[in-house]
Structure 1
Amino acid sequence: MPGTTAAVLGQQIETARYAAGLTRRQVCDASGVSISMLRKVERGERRPSDQVLETLARAVRSTPEDLLGGTRRTDSRVHRDIPALRRVIAAYDLPEDGPVRPLQQIAADVEAAVEDRVEARYARLGDRAPGLLAELFRAVDQAPDGRERASAARLLALAVRSADAVAYKYGYHDLSGRLVELMRWASKLVNDPALDAAAAYVRTEVFFAAQQLGSGLRALRAAVDQMPAPSSERLAAAAAALHMRAAVVADRMQGADDARLHLREAEALASQVRERLYDGTAVGPDSLEVHRLAVAVELGEPEDLREAVSAATRWAPPRDLPAERRSHYYIDLSRAQVQLGRPQHAAESLLVARQIAPQHVRAHEQVRAELATMVRLTRGRDTRVMALARWAKAV
């Protein structure tokens, strides 16, 4: 990838070298590159030419594409379902003729799809999503009146969101962007501010993928401003979710004050609601604790990280919290431990996350980046770290 910086490329080469169990001298002997040159490359002080990169890639048993940050796909069967998903949404407003069951029956399948998403059962979700979306597109198109159309559109918004999880987490960001816009389109047919807020929450993925965090934060704040007063539990939960998301985005922009402000707003709202799913988003006191850790990790301030790791000895996400959210907590805990220079503890946290939601952990881009860092910290000598890194296709 042309945009890969010299520092990132150097880290990739060093990670691949450790994963192959090679010293710098061995790489230099195999490639003909000098020790001083390799040292500068790995430190990010010098970017290799295309010819040197190809030679180094062969020496560390990799490819130039992988070293430049190319996506390493897992062998999940999710990938085989993506073409069918693309075909279905291509003609969302011109659906083919076909049967449409009563909405009550479709609703049960949508509920199952939402459960598959939050429990990180992506392979099953990817298999079922195309057919469910096709039927819901027909249901919206064939609705006899506005009320029936709004009911079908609500179900469609939730089903599209579930399908988006498959697209986004497995790296199909173009498809994810289309699904997000479809969710926003469907939610507008319902005229429901809480569902609009859920669509705005999911839309943040588009900004993450495009690395447009400033735009993402503005979009979230605009969604907050458009929310009515939190006069019901559902509206309070919708607003809390937006603030939790905004805190994470502000974090990634290194806006500590903004992040903490949004977290306080989320805390005030989350305290008013029961922990459960609201329009597909888990919101409540426990979800707030998960986001509190995420905020500390993104800011990366040592004192906050130490406190977050210490807090993990006193609190753990309860088992009734969705698997995706629980595993996210342990992923972020491991990231905090890596930043504190504790790769062995980080490996233990990732093993817990994998036990909770293996498909979520294996598809998570931050997990792969984190495992690459752990390989470098342990110089490829920790067998548990290496096993995790190979399982997640981080090396």
Structure 2
Amino acid sequence: MSTPRLGERLQAIRKRRGLTQRELAQLSGVSISLLRKLEQGEREDTRVETLRKLAMALRITTAELILRPEPEDEAPVDGDQWAPVRDALLGRRMPEPDEEPTIGGVKSALRAGVPLSTENRYADLGAAIPSLLRDADALGPDGRLVQARAYHLAGLLMVQTRQFDAADMALARAVDSAPDRLEAAAAINTRCWLLIRQGRLRETLDLAATWADDIEPKLSRATLAELATWGGLLVRVSAAAVRNNQPGEADDALRLAYAAGAAMGREYASPSDYARTFGPLKVAMMRAENAMVADRPDRVLAIAERIPERVFRPQSPSRKRHRLDVANAHVSLKRYTDAVDVLQELRSSAPEWIVNQRLARDILAKVISRRRTLTSEMRDLADFVSLEY
């Protein structure tokens, strides 16, 4: 069965809410003429901010109105669900709605899209990104901050889903659009993560260290955003250095990151770096990650025991990555059941995230290779993450 079109979905939800078109127009601030065109199928596309106004009036999420095709409706011949995002990044033409976007409206739409990333709802975010980029670009020079953050959000999605070329395009646009160095540095932080995932360690070291040196603040009067951005780049330096067999450089970077975290005194989520928090606990989790790279699983688990779980949401990228290190440590210590329990926990809390994590497959592959017999739970998990065994 094909997916109901925008007008059909809008009309059905409006009627379930017991609203007339005129009442919905008044509640949402959307003109009744546009509402009629949408419901009658004369218009199949509109600005994201318009959809958000309608969604708020209807008490639903914007994602429920954004078209998300079923497999048989997908436009790309090869069934590639990320093709529309890549097309948007390449500037391929999309229908231009009649209404003009506003900076405030696109900002609101952007804020509504951020939870789709932090909650690992990648398919929903992928459906929203093309229109969001189109509307952000239409703002012109006055909308540089919104443009930078929209492209940064697209870059995060593409890194998470291993669409690395598209991620590179999106993050380059985020840096180019950034109105200041701090905003650009947030996108550079994500680009460093992209380079690490590609194994480009020397490039990561050079890029992260250069930008960390450039924006290094004075600790005594730095803002939380400055400390978090600087500390985040130092964490990237440490992650790349320990993987590049440069433990001294990794430790030096982490000591500076610890100083930034201590000056902050708490975890801080930067509005320009959606997927990440930074603070003392982030540094502790990086120590655990470095310990795992150095083959010190006992140290990983000792550090993990001192990190309070209640501080981070289950969907937090930092926490999820840390839990993979914990699972990996359990495997190294031959605690296979404990490792599988952690992977199942991640599957339950972040199913779209774990299927895109090569480390999760590698950990499970180790478990399977070291077990004479597999439980049904292990087989089911292997099938879920597409691991051949």
Q: After TM superposition, is the score higher than 0.5? A: yes
Counterparts of 2:260 and 2:85 in 1: how far apart (Å)? 36
Counterparts of 1:186 and 1:348 in 2: how far apart (Å)? 43
Structure 1 residue 356: deviation in Å? 2.5
Counterparts of 1:285 and 1:306 in 2: how far apart (Å)? 21
Which residue number corresponds to residue 335 of structure 2? 342
Which residue number corresponds to residue 151 of structure 2? 160
Structure 1 residue 208: deviation in Å? 2.7
SS in 1 for 2:263: coil
Counterparts of 1:201 and 1:223 in 2: how far apart (Å)? 9
Which residue number corresponds to residue 231 of structure 2? 240
Q: Could you give the per-residue CA deviations for residues 82-106 of structure 1, whole angstroms, max 9, x where no partner exists?
A: 11111112128x9875444321221
Higher relative contact order (CA 8 A, sep 6+): 1
Structure 1 residue 368: deviation in Å? 1.3
Give the superposed CA RMSD. Answer: 2.4
Q: Which of 278, 283, 287 matches 2:282? A: 287
Q: Following superposition of structure 1 onto structure 2, how do residues 77-96 of structure 1 map, counting pairs within 5 Å?
A: 80-91=80-91
What 5-or-longer segments of structure 2 have no aligned partner? Answer: 1-70
Counterparts of 2:170 and 2:217 in 1: how far apart (Å)? 29
Which residue number corresponds to residue 371 of structure 1? 364
Residues 258 and 341 (structure 1), Cα distance of their counterparts in 2 relative to 1, 3 Å cut: farther
Please say if residues 119 and 324 of structure 1, whose CA atoms lie closer than 8 Å, have aligned partners that are also in contact: no
Q: Could you give the per-residue CA deviations for residues 5-41 of structure 1, whole angstroms, max 9, x where no partner exists?
A: xxxxxxxxxxxxxxxxxxxxxxxxxxxxxxxxxxxxx
Q: Following superposition of structure 1 onto structure 2, how do residues 208-357 of structure 1 map, counting pairs within 5 Å?
A: 208-230=196-218, 231-273=222-264, 274-278=266-270, 279-280=272-273, 281-300=276-295, 302=296, 305-321=297-313, 323-357=316-350
Counterparts of 1:388 and 1:233 in 2: how far apart (Å)? 40
SS in 1 for 2:310: coil
Counterparts of 1:377 and 1:364 in 2: how far apart (Å)? 21
Select between 366-375 and 202-211 the one with higher mean Cα deviation: 202-211
Which residue number corresponds to residue 25 of structure 2? none
**1:232 maps to amino acid:** T
Counterparts of 1:299 and 1:339 in 2: how far apart (Å)? 12
Please say if residues 216 and 230 of structure 2, whose CA atoms lie closer than 8 Å, have aligned partners that are also in contact: no
1:122 maps onto 2:122 in alignment: yes
Counterparts of 1:195 and 1:298 in 2: how far apart (Å)? 30
Structure 1 residue 312: deviation in Å? 2.6
Please say if residues 122 and 166 of structure 1, whose CA atoms lie closer than 8 Å, have aligned partners that are also in contact: yes
* TM-score normalised by length of structure 2: 0.72
**1:195 maps to amino acid:** E
Counterparts of 2:198 and 2:317 in 1: how far apart (Å)? 23
SS in 2 for 1:120: coil
Structure 1 residue 238: deviation in Å? 0.6
Counterparts of 1:114 and 1:102 in 2: how far apart (Å)? 19
**2:252 maps to amino acid:** L
Q: Which of 385, 391, 395 matches 2:378? A: 385
User: What percentage of residue pairs aligned between the two structures are identical?
Assistant: 19
**2:212 maps to amino acid:** V
Residues 224 and 313 (structure 1), Cα distance of their counterparts in 2 relative to 1, 3 Å cut: closer
Q: Aligned pair count?
A: 304
What 5-or-longer segments of structure 1 have no aligned partner? Answer: 1-74, 144-148
Please say if residues 116 and 122 of structure 2, whose CA atoms lie closer than 8 Å, have aligned partners that are also in contact: yes
* TM-score normalised by length of structure 1: 0.71
Please say if residues 96 and 138 of structure 1, whose CA atoms lie closer than 8 Å, have aligned partners that are also in contact: no
SS in 2 for 1:312: helix
